[in-house]
Amino acid sequence: MRKKNKKSKQIQLFFLFGSILTFILILIASTVGRQELNGPQRLALDLIGKGQFVFTRLTTGVANVWADYIALVHIRDENKRLREELDKFKATNIKYREAVATNVRLSKLLQVKDSLPPPTLTAQIVGRDPSLWFRTIIIDRGSSEGVEKGMPVVTVEGVVGQILDTSPNYSKVLLANDPNSAIDVLLQKNRVQGIVKGNGSNGFNLLYVLKNADVEKGDAIVTSGLGDIFPKGLPVGKVSEVTKSKRGMFQQIDVEPSVDFSQLEYLIIIMHENSLADQDFGKQYH
Amino acid sequence: MPVISYFFLGIFLLILQTSLITILPEWVGRPDAFFVLIVFVAIRLKFVHGAVLLLVLGLIMDIFSGIFLGIYPITYLLLFILLHGIARRLAIHESVHRIPLVVASYLFVNSLLYTFASYLAPENELIWNWKEILMQILLLAIITLPLFTLFETFDAILTPKKGAQFFLRSKNKNTFRD
């Protein structure tokens, strides 16, 4: 009885393995020469692919964590070094920008200096008036370099003021926007004369212009050359507002200076009081 | 010796005031540390010392500011006499009085400068600009207490006796009892 049972089990196993082998053989036979996966292959691919995906993700994750950990060991030093380098480059960049800006300013100044009657002297501002009532500055040129009281001071944009006092190495300049400053000027378009006085802030008033004079907003104002202080033709500003009140003979004219007094840095002192217009005239006719 | 030290401190603050602080943008304002020193000197130093120092500082201020020589020494001397006179009657040395004291002194000095400048050149009209003055007053109100503390420390270093009193003084002293 036992022998019979053993034999039947062997037969069952034989059939089972035979069936599997047959199935595999059929599978192989059916796939030979084809390029597309069949159903079971697709299923296998799908399942194994999932496994691969999970495993790969896990491996990658662990690898990344490890890599990050390794990187963190050095990242602080590298960060510190990079920050130092960045600061250094920023400082260098600021220096370069300042150098370029100074170069531009000085180039413009040089152009103006060439166009002014010689001799001229370039000066730098070293101090400003701290009070609310006066507008003066201190420059780094003095009587030892020939600077004298009354000499005009200009910049690329136009008239700045005139020398008020000097010491051997420094001078005090009365700015044109000081209420105590007065400059003879004329309107460029129709040669109407007037006097520009500072209003104490960053502006001028044009005085003694008769009501019948043609003055409009935007008209350019230049030095007249009268008084032998400023050369003729230097830009002073532009008319910003014209008011004709019923009373009085004159117009009330506000002038926007051509110079920004808050941005002054380098200035030109005109040491010789020749007229620019005279010089041009001389060049043309002599 | 303290007078000379205050003189050099004044020169240092004046240089700061006319160079470094003027670079600040206008909307930030230009705190007048030199003026706070003037007020401090006026209420702290003895009559002769204080008067001489303020006259000298006024003469130097004339060089750096304005076009009329002499108006700063006179203005500072008048401020000194006024503050010295008030100091005898009122407890203006108390810290609570410092800000109003400096602000009132600032208005007094600027009124005098305005009056003198208008008198010396009546044809040149000065404009009393409340916006700028209020801005300066606000800045003075902010810097007065820290600067007074700084000047007191400076004073304590200059005069060892005062220094000892400054560092060892009792907290709740009734100054009106003395």
B27 found inside a domain: yes
State the ipTM, two decimals: 0.80
Cα pseudo-dihedral B142, B146, B148, B149, rounded to 10? 160
- Selection from A277, A285, A263, A237 nearest residue A115 by Cα: A277
B146 found inside a domain: yes
Q: Which residues of A fall within a CB distance of 8 Å from B32?
A: 130
Residue A42 or residue A263, greater confidence: A263
Tokens of A248: 């009085």
CA distance A103 to A95: 12
Please give the pLDDT value at position A274: 45
Torsion angles phi and psi, residue A278, rounded to 5: -60, -40
Residue A26 or residue A87, greater confidence: A87
B16 found inside a domain: yes
Q: With an 8 Å Cβ cutoff, is A224 touching chain B?
A: no
Average confidence (pLDDT) over A95-111: 76
Model confidence band, residue B162 (pLDDT cutoffs 50, 70, 90) = low
Residue of B nearest to A181 (CA): B124
Q: Which residues of A fall within a CB distance of 8 Å from B30?
A: 130
Q: Which residues of A fall within a CB distance of 8 Å from B113?
A: 131, 133
Q: Are A136 and A174 a contacting pair, CB within 8 Å? A: yes
CA B109 to chain CA mean position, Å: 10
Model confidence band, residue A262 (pLDDT cutoffs 50, 70, 90) = confident
Tokens of B18: 């006319």
Which of the residue ranges A30-44, A103-117, A186-200 has the most confident prediction, judged by mean pLDDT?
A186-200
B171 found inside a domain: no
Q: What is the pLDDT of residues A234-258, one digit of tens each?
A: 889 999 998 888 788 888 899 999 9
Q: With an 8 Å Cβ cutoff, is B136 touching chain A?
A: yes
**How many CB atoms lie under 10 A from the CB of residue B110?**
20
Model confidence band, residue A173 (pLDDT cutoffs 50, 70, 90) = very high
Could you give the 3-state DSSP secondary structure of residue A153?
strand
A11-25, A184-198, B44-58, B127-141: segment of lowest average pLDDT: A11-25
pLDDT for residue B78 is more than 90: yes
Furthest CA-CA distance within chain B: 57
Among B64, B125, B129, the residue with its CB nearest the CB of A129 is: B64
B32 found inside a domain: yes
Please give the pLDDT value at position A2: 64
Q: What is the pLDDT of residues B79-104, one digit of tens each?
A: 999 988 887 777 666 777 888 889 99
B174 found inside a domain: no
Q: Which of residues 56-85 of B touch A (CB under 8 A)?
A: 63-67
Q: What's the CATH number where B120 sits?
A: 1.10.1760
Please give the pLDDT value at position A286: 38
Please give the pLDDT value at position A31: 64
Percent of chain B residues topping a pLDDT of 70: 87
Average confidence (pLDDT) over A211-220: 88
Domain count within chain B: 1
B14 found inside a domain: yes
Its domain, for residue B130, covers 2-161
B112 found inside a domain: yes
Q: List, as own/partner pairs, every contact residues B33-36 make where C-beta atoms lie below 8 angstroms and the sequence separation is at least 24, other chains included.
A: B33/B143, B33/B147, B34/A130, B34/B10, B34/B61, B35/B102, B35/B105, B35/B106, B35/B109, B35/B140, B36/B102, B36/B140, B36/B143, B36/B144, B36/B147, B36/B148, B36/B151
Average confidence (pLDDT) over B131-143: 90
CA distance A194 to A217: 16
DSSP A215: -
Residue with tokens 């996966």, as numbered in its chain: A37
Residue with tokens 């004159």, as numbered in its chain: A250
- If you average pLDDT over every residue of chain A, what do you get? 81
Model confidence band, residue A32 (pLDDT cutoffs 50, 70, 90) = low
pLDDT for residue B106 is more than 90: yes
Among B17, B67, B136, the residue with its CB nearest the CB of A134 is: B67
Q: Which residues of B fall within a CB distance of 8 Å from A130?
A: 14, 17-18, 21-22, 30, 32, 34, 64-65
Model confidence band, residue A69 (pLDDT cutoffs 50, 70, 90) = confident
Residue B86, exposed/middle/buried by CB under 10 A (0-12, 13-18, 19+)?
middle
pLDDT for residue B168 is more than 60: no
Torsion angles phi and psi, residue B15, rounded to 5: -60, -45
Distance from CA of A112 to the nearest CA of B (A): 25
- Selection from B77, B81, B72, B59 nearest residue B117 by Cα: B72
Average confidence (pLDDT) over B12-39: 84
Percent of chain A residues topping a pLDDT of 70: 81
Please give the pLDDT value at position B34: 92
Distance from CA of A57 to the nearest CA of B (A): 58
Among A131, A134, A179, the residue with its CB nearest the CB of B125 is: A179
Please give the pLDDT value at position A81: 87
A253: β partners: A206, A242
A95-99, A249-253, B29-33: segment of lowest average pLDDT: A95-99
Please give the pLDDT value at position A117: 67
Furthest CA-CA distance within chain A: 148
